[in-house]
A and B are shown apart, each in its own frame.
Chain A
Amino acid sequence: MASGNDQSNAAAVTSAPEAGNLLGFLRNKGVAATERPSSDHPAFNVPAGEVVATLQHLRDEQAFDLLMDVTAIDWAEGASPRFTVVYHLLSTTRSAYVRIAVNCASDTAPSAPSVVSVWPGANWHERECFDLMGIKFEGHPDLRRILMWDEYPYHPLRKDFPLAGIETALPDADVTAETGTRVLAAPMAGGPFVATSGEINLTEAEPRAKDESWADRRPRPDQEGLKQVRE
C-alpha cells in the first residue's frame, strides 16, 4: 500500500481516491477492511463492529462528507450471510464515491450498528431499511417503520415475501371508532397482482389477473360496514 496514508495531508483529500490508497488508509486506522469486487467505485467490506469508526474516518479525514444512501441486500433464504448493509458516500470536494458493505452476523435476526451519530441523515435511511428488510440498527434513536404502518407484521423487501403481498389486518381501529365504518382491505389473493413463485420462466412469473372476482360489485362500506360494527 502507498505510504503516507496514516496522516490526512491536503494532497490526499483533494485528488480522486484510488481503491488501494483508501484500503491502506482504513487498515492504518485499524479497520479490518477487505476490498470488495466492484466495477465502478472503490468498495470495501468492513466488519459490523467497525462500521461507525470507518464512516467517521472517511468523513473526517478523507473528505467523504455526504452519506448518499444506506440500503440492504437480501441474498435469499438459506444464503449465509443473508443480509448485507451497503453505504454509499460521496465527497463534494473530490467528486468521488466510496461503497462500504457490512455483512450482518445473524441470518434470522439481522442487525447492524446505527450511524445516526455520524450522519443525522442516516436516520430515515435506517428506518426504511428496518421497515422493508427487517434489519435492526443498534443505537438508532427512533427505530420505527417509515413507509408501512407501525403494526405491519412483515418486511416486504425480503426475498421470502411474495410479490402479491400477504393479506393483513389494516390499522382501522381509530377510523372505526370515529366513523362506525370499517376499512375494507383491497383484495389481493386473487387480485390484480398474482405472481407464481419459484424457479420458472419470466412469462409465467409475470404478475397477472388470475381471478376477477375482486371486481365484483359490493355494497358501499358505509352501509354494510356500519351494520357489522354495530352487531
Chain B
Amino acid sequence: MATEFTFPDSAAKAAKLPAGLPEGTEFQTEKMSLSMGPSHPSTHGVLRLQMELDGEILTKCDPVLGYLHRGDEKIAENMTYNQFVPYTDRLDYLAPLANNMAYAIAVERLAKLEVPARCQAIRVLTAEMARISAHLMGLGAFGLDVGAWSVLLYSLHEREKLYKLFEELTGARFTTSYTRIGGVTRDVPEGWLGRVNAFCDQFLPILEETLTLLTRNKIFMDRTVGVGVISKADALAYGLTGPNLRGSGVPLDLRKDRPYSGYEQYEFDVPVGSKGDCYDRYLVRGEEMRQSVRIIKQVIAKFPDGPWYATDAKRIFAPPKDRILTSMEELIQNFMIVTEGPQMPPGEVYFEAENPKGILGFYVVSKGGGVPWRLKIRSPSFCNLSILPKICVGCLISDVVSILGSLDFVMGECDR
C-alpha cells in the first residue's frame, strides 16, 4: 500500500512557498522514533519494534528480540534427551503437543528407532488438535488486534474444550510434555477418542460461524486486504514457512512433501493463497482448521491397535517395574538409564515438522552418550519475523498491527 500515500516530508517540500521567503527555503519535518513493545498488547508477547515514523508512515522498522531468551539450546546440552521434553512445551506454547512430537521424532531418527503405528496415530491426532487450538488463538488474537472482539470469545470457548481433552490425555492443560523418545507417556484413555470425535462434530458448525464474523466483514477486509503483501520470491528469500508461506502461494507442507509419523495415510488438502496479503494468511489458517478436522476424523476411523511405545527400545525405556524389583540386570539397566540418560549413537540429524506456526526444525549433533553435543532449534516464528523490516516500510502504523496479527508468531519460540 506504500504507493498510495504521500510522505508528509515530501509533501512539505513540494508545497508552494509563502510570499516573502527566499527561493529554496525548506520546511523541515522531523522523523519520530517510536518504540512499540516489549509490553504492548498487539505485539503478542515481548516483541519490541523500534520504528521510525514520518507522520503516520513507517520509514524504518527494527525488531528487537531477546526479551524471552532463556538459552534453551544451552540447557539442552546439559541434560538427557528425555529431560528436554518439557522445554519443548515452552517453545511454541500454543501448540506444545506438536513441538513434543517434532522433538521426539528428531531424536528417534538419531537413535534409528521405529515407533509403532498406534503411537504414530496418537501423535498425529494430538498434533492436529494442537494445530486447531493454535490457529483458534491466532485468529482470535488477529480479530482482536483489528477490532473484532467477538471472534476471540468464540475461539477461546472452543479452545477450552480442547484443553479439557488435552488434560484428560496428558494430565496437563497447557504444558503437556506428552511424548517420550520412542513413544508417548500413556495410551489414550477409555472413551477419549469418542469425545474427540464429538468435539469435531460440534466444532465444524461453530468454526463456520466464527469465520463468518471475519471473512466478509467490511472492517476486517479494509484492514487486511492488500495490506502487508509478501511476494512469493520474498517469502522464499526470507525463509518464511507455514501458513505465511502458503499464503504467498507456495504449496509447501511437509506433511505432504516429506510425510512423517504416518501422515501419508491421510487425505487432506493444502490451502494456498494468491496475493500474499494479511487476508490470504487469515483464509489459509481458517481452511487449515477444516483440514485438521478431516485428518482427525480419519485417524479416529482407522485407529490402530497394539503397543503405543517402541517395545524394542530397551536402551531408551526403563524396564518393567516388576522386573526392576526382582532382577539384578534390569535394576542396573534402570539405574544407568536414570543416571546417564538413554545412550544415543554419534551422528547428526536434522528433522523438521510442519507445526501450526510454520516449520519447526531440530538439528541434533551427538557424540554418543546420554546428552546432545549441540541442539539447534530452527524456530518458524524467528524466520517469519525476519521479514518485518522489509514489509513494514511504507505502511501505516495501524497496518503494522494487522501484519503482526497475520504473521501469528510466538515469542517463546522466537527467542528460545
Contacts and interface: CB of A to CB of B under 8 A. Distances in A.
A39 B363 CA distance: 13
Contact of B348 (A38, A69, A201): A38
A201 B350 contact: no
Interface string B190-212: 00000000000000000000000
Contact of A41 (B241, B350, B416): B350
Interface residues of B, number: 50
Contact of A88 (B73, B339, B350): B350
B390 A68 contact: no
A149 B350 contact: no
Contacts of A66: 236, 239, 241, 252
Interface in A111-132: 119-121, 123-125, 128, 132
Given A38-B348, A202-B370, A202-B371, A147 B65 contact: yes
A90 B371 CA distance: 27
A153 B182 CA distance: 40
Interface residues of A, number: 43
Interface in A61-112: 65-69, 71, 73-74, 86, 88, 90, 92, 95, 97, 99
Interface string B376-400: 1010001101110010000000000
B365 interface: yes
A82 to B, nearest CB: 13
B79 interface: yes
Contacts of A146: 65-66
B66 A95 contact: no
Contacts of A95: 257-258
B340 interface: yes
B376 A69 contact: yes
B107 interface: no
B238 interface: yes
B339 A120 contact: no
Contacts of B241: 66
Residue among A68, A86, A203, A206 having the largest count of chain B Cβ atoms under 10 Å = A68
Contacts of A69: 350, 361, 363, 376, 378
Interface of chain B, main secondary structure: mixed
A205 B78 contact: yes
B294 interface: no
A40 interface: yes
A66 B251 CA distance: 13
Contacts of B349: 39-40
A195 B78 contact: yes
Contacts of A124: 382-383, 385-386
Interface string B59-96: 00000011001010111001110000000000000000
A144 B150 CA distance: 42
A225 interface: no
B347 interface: yes
Interface string A139-178: 0000000111100000011000101000000000000000
A65 B373 CA distance: 29
A156 B350 contact: no
B145 interface: no
Residue among A73, A97, A121, A163 having the largest count of chain B Cβ atoms under 10 Å = A121
Contacts of A161: 74
Interface of B: 65-66, 69, 71, 73-75, 78-80, 109, 112, 236-241, 250-252, 257-258, 339-341, 347-352, 359, 361, 363, 365, 370-371, 373-374, 376, 378, 382-383, 385-387, 390, 415-416
Interface of A: 37-41, 65-69, 71, 73-74, 86, 88, 90, 92, 95, 97, 99, 119-121, 123-125, 128, 132, 146-149, 156-157, 161, 163, 195, 201-203, 205-207
20 contacts: A39-B109, A68-B352, A68-B361, A69-B363, A71-B378, A74-B374, A86-B363, A88-B350, A88-B363, A97-B350, A119-B237, A119-B238, A119-B239, A120-B390, A121-B383, A123-B386, A146-B65, A156-B71, A163-B78, A202-B80
